[in-house]
Amino acid sequence: MNATRFTGRTALVTGAASGMGAAIAEAFAAEGARVVAADVEVAGGAATVARITESGGAAIFVPTDVSDAAAVAALVARAVDTYGGVHCAVNAAAIEGEGVPLADLDDAVFDRLQAVNVRGVFLCMKHELRAMVAAGAGGAIVNIASTNSYRPQHNQSGYTASKHAVLGLTRSAAMDYARHGIRINAICPGAIDTPMLRNAIARRSGDAAETANRLSLLGRFGTVSEIANAALWLCSDESSFTLGHALAVDAGYLAR
């Protein structure tokens, strides 16, 4: 770990209350970044910031529903007002929650999936990009997609559609904003050990060991720190020639 890799930079992370988002926020802080953590879940988001500040890092928590345009605009404005700008952003806020074939999927469930997973990424990118362009110093954005962006699972049509859309937003924006020195990429996590994954397995009455063996060539779930490491690399100067890329962190699942 390079404790100064992000010194002087501000990193905005959504979905920071738990799972991958929390790990990413804490990893940025450990490497010197000032962190703006956002989530709709207040207690978890505040706990993430508390862990950062107790470890000597700089961070604030901004309660945010990423599907709400005004809330996202206020989030980015708070980051600019507090720390002078946004240099890196990881849009990790997402939900899942279906478990039926498409014809049985409730309209409201589908709409909510798109509101958070697609509209949320769109709104975050929109305001992050405006701040980065206005500052004129470039930047890096990472969107959390999924292996479902390439290979769907049964009974996840709404979630899969949303994660395909995240890649479309990532690649299109990467083309538009490269001339501003802003690099935009995505991560496609495989089976990562998060509360979301554990809840999905329980809801489907699945078996954790069987799921890990089916979705990973290593026979285990990935860790949130493995996703955080990928996010930091994509936001760092070490990936300066990487744009519009979807990085699979999936223990070989997509190669199978």
Residue 4 lies in a domain: no
pLDDT of 201 over the 60 cut: yes
Locate the DSSP E strands across the chain: 10-14, 34-39, 58-63, 88-91, 139-144, 182-189, 246-249
Residue 155 lies in a domain: yes
The C-alpha angle with vertex 126 and arms to 120 and 128, in degrees rounded to 5, equals 100
Q: How far apart are CA 204 and CA 102, in angstroms?
A: 16
Cβ atoms of residues 108 and 160 within 8 Å = no
Single out the residue of 76, 169, 46 nearest to residue 117, CA to CA. Answer: 169
pLDDT reported for residue 97:
86
**What are the C-alpha distances in Å from 230 to residues 27, 105, 127, 239?**
11, 33, 23, 10
pLDDT of 46 over the 90 cut: yes
Residue 32 lies in a domain: yes
Residue 83 lies in a domain: yes
Residue 98 lies in a domain: yes
pLDDT reported for residue 105:
97
pLDDT reported for residue 242:
98
pLDDT reported for residue 172:
98
pLDDT reported for residue 126:
98
pLDDT reported for residue 1:
44
Tens digits of per-residue pLDDT, 83-136? 999 999 999 999 998 889 999 999 999 999 999 999 999 999 999 999 999 999
Q: Would you call 233 helix, strand, or coil by DSSP?
A: helix
Single out the residue of 149, 151, 192 nearest to residue 170, CA to CA. Answer: 149
Structure-model confidence comparison of residues 241 and 196, the more confident one = 241
Tens digits of per-residue pLDDT, 136-187? 999 999 999 999 999 999 999 999 999 999 999 999 999 999 999 999 999 9
Residue 88 lies in a domain: yes
Q: Which domain holds residue 29?
A: 10-255
Mean per-residue pLDDT of the chain: 96
Catalytic residue among 83, 150, 159, 253: 159
Residue 2 lies in a domain: no
**pTM of the complete model:** 0.96
Residue 3 lies in a domain: no
pLDDT reported for residue 205:
74
The structural domain count of the chain equals 1
The CATH number given to whatever domain includes residue 194 is: 3.40.50.720
150 belongs to the catalytic site: no
